[in-house]
């Protein structure tokens, strides 16, 4: 079963968590250094960065479920799925933002979507 790292509205208690129905929660995790969260079109988005780490969750899911999530996330126009290195040394797939070179985006300083006003989990 593929592992998927989620960091924003797909996390437990967030607005789009229902899209992960059927996936199996594995752990709360943080990425290794080298990633950041930005705001893109009103949503949090993962990017590769010189410094930083991102907080999220890892799920075990199926290839079919990932195909449905690809459609939900707007792959390949808005996001692309790639491999992310986690702080524990393991890897998972994640949705990375497609950003145009030179386009500036606000960075979420803490790397945790739930630290942003109005994004607290609804648990």
| Angle at 59 (CA atoms; ends 58, 61), nearest 5 degrees | 145
Residue 118 or residue 14, greater confidence: 14
pLDDT of residue 123: 47
Tell me the H-state helices in the chain: 63-73
Total-model pTM: 0.93
Give the start-end residues of each E strand in the chain: 3-6, 24-30, 35-40, 43-48, 55-60, 79-85, 91-97, 107-108
- Express each pLDDT in 54-91 by its tens digit: 999 999 999 999 999 999 999 999 999 999 999 999 99
């Amino acid at each position: 079963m593929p592992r998927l790292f989620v960091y924003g509205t797909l996390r437990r208690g967030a607005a789009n968590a229902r899209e992960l129905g059927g996936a199996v929660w594995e752990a709360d995790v943080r990425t290794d250094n080298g990633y950041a969260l930005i705001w893109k079109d009103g949503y949090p988005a993962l990017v590769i960065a010189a410094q930083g780490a991102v907080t999220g969750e890892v799920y075990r899911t199926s290839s079919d479920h990932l195909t449905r999530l690809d459609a939900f996330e707007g792959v390949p126009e808005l996001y692309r799925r790639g491999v992310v290195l986690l702080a524990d040394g393991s890897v998972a797939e994640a949705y990375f933002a497609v950003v145009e070179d030179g386009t500036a985006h606000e960075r979420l300083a803490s790397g945790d979507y739930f630290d942003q006003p109005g994004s607290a989990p609804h648990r």
